[in-house]
Every structure is written in C-alpha cells, then in structure tokens.
Amino acid sequence: MMNQKLKAIASFVSKYDTVLDTCCDHAYLAIYLKKNKLCKEVYASDINPNALAVAKKNIAGAKLEIKTYLSDGLKTVDNKDIDTVVIAGVGADTVLDIIRSAPSSIKKYIISSNNHLAYLRHKLRKYNLYIQEEVAVLDKHKYYVVMLVTKDYVKDNRNTIRFGKSKNVEYFRHLIKKEEKVVDRIPKNKVFRRFRHKQNIKTLQKLIKRI
C-alpha cells in the first residue's frame, strides 16, 4: 500500500533510473514503480528474510517480475546496472552503513531516515554526497523527510544542514513546536541551553517568512 512517504520517494525517481530499493519491507515501492513504468528497472532487497518473503508474495500477487535480494544493504547485491538506491525506514547510522558498502557506480540516493537528520546531512558531505532537494510529508500524524542525494556539489549552510531544504511551512511550524517543548523542559538556570533552542525557534520563523 502506497503512503505519502513512498509517493514522495517515487517522485524523485526518473524513467531512466535503474533502482534498488534496499530495506524494501513488503516491496510496495518497487511494485508501484514497476506497475506504473516510472523507471527503467527496479529491484528490491532486505536483510530480513521474513520481510523479503512477504515482498516476494506481494510481487507475485501483482503479477510482476521484480528480482529480489536477501542482503544487508548492497553487500551481497551483484548487479552493475543499478545506479539509483533507495534507503528508507531506517536510522541515520544504517543509512550511512549502506552507503559505505555501495559501489562507486551509484549515481543517486533517495533517503528517508527515521532519525538524526542534521547529523546525516553533515555526514553525507563527508562522502562527497550532496542533497539536491528535500521534501517533508505528513503521513498518519508523523512527518517524514525525503532527500534526493547525488554527487553533484551543492553549497549548504548551517541552516540547511540543521533544518533541511524543505519548503513545507507546516513542517517548520512542527519543528518550532518541538523546540518550544524542549525549552519548557530545560531548567531556567541552564541559560545557554535555553538560549540555543530559542535561537533555533527564531531561525525557523525566519525560514518560514522566506518561503
């Protein structure tokens, strides 16, 4: 079943891409891409054999042919045609581990990490990978950030690293509310910590005005 996060991921796929959906879970994205002919070819992999078994069942049920791999990221995927990798539904450290094991032939990553987005944005640059676009989508009362990442250099600044490049005003308002809750929990004698988070709120308010 396609949700808003998977649709956002699919929007970054082009018809010329040969895609591997790592951490494919039930293969909903791969099925959607194949059925709608949104890419040149698509493959699916997962480290969990039970999830991959469900993926294969869903692929068969959709009457499609999609090759699957039981693999930790790309570590046991021997397919030189793949140039686009989707990494979604896992944490930042897992995202980076998958990238470290990826061949240099990968031209594009589409990433949706469950956590530590600022840390991930910073680390991607260490691997000479740069965020071209970001979208933030609300799905079942939770925001998901999807990043389009390539090797094409893009200049970033402190704000784009910390808060991203999304143009979603409601997402930034959501971040403001999170910062306000953090401030409320910090003891008043912790002046520097409170100031830092209040500055984050001011920065987010400025970003909203620029959109």
Residue pLDDT, tens place only, 36-88: 999 999 999 999 999 999 999 999 999 999 999 999 999 999 899 999 999 99
Handedness of CA 157, 153, 137, 94 (dihedral sign): negative
Neighbours of 107 (CB within 10 A): 14
Question: Comparing C-alpha atoms, which of 44, 22, 40 is closest to residue 31?
Answer: 44
The pLDDT score that the predictor gives to residue 2 is 79
| Residue 51 belongs to domain spanning | 4-166
Alpha carbon distance 160, 207 (integer Å) = 10
d(CA 23, CA 47): 7
Q: Are residues 59 and 134 in the same domain?
A: yes
- Which pLDDT tens digit goes with each residue over 95-145? 999 999 999 999 999 999 999 999 999 999 999 999 999 999 999 899 999
Co-location of 197 and 100 in the same domain: no
Cα(159)–Cα(124) distance, rounded to whole angstroms? 16
User: What's the domain count of the chain?
Assistant: 2
Amino acid at 35: K
* Predicted local confidence at residue 75, as pLDDT: 92
Residues 100 and 88: their CA atoms lie apart, in Å, by 16
In this prediction, residue 55 carries a pLDDT of 97
How high does pLDDT run on average in the chain? 96
| Tokens (6 digits) for 165 | 């490049």
Residue 157 and residue 175 in one domain: no
- Check residue 142 and give its pLDDT: 95
Is residue 52 within 8 Å of 22, Cβ to Cβ? no
Domain co-membership, 69 together with 103: yes
Q: What is the pTM of this model?
A: 0.95
* Per-residue confidence (pLDDT) for residue 96, from 0 to 100: 98
State the pLDDT at residue 11.
97
- Give the pLDDT confidence score for residue 120 in this predicted structure: 98
Shared domain check, 128 and 103: yes
- Statement to judge: residues 105 and 190 lie in one domain: no
With CA atoms as reference, report the closest residue to 62 among 2, 139, 140, 21. 2
Three-state SS at 45: strand
107 and 197 fall within a common domain: no
Q: Are 112 and 177 in the same domain?
A: no
Residues 180 and 107 in one domain: no
Residues 98 and 184 in one domain: no
Radius of gyration of the chain (CA): 19
What CATH number is associated with residue 50? Answer: 3.40.50.150
Same domain, 67 and 109: yes
Interval 184-202: pLDDT, tens: 999 999 999 999 999 999 9
152 contacts: CB under 8 Å, gap ≥ 6: 130, 132
Residues 158 and 182 in one domain: no
Q: Does residue 1 register a pLDDT over 90?
A: no
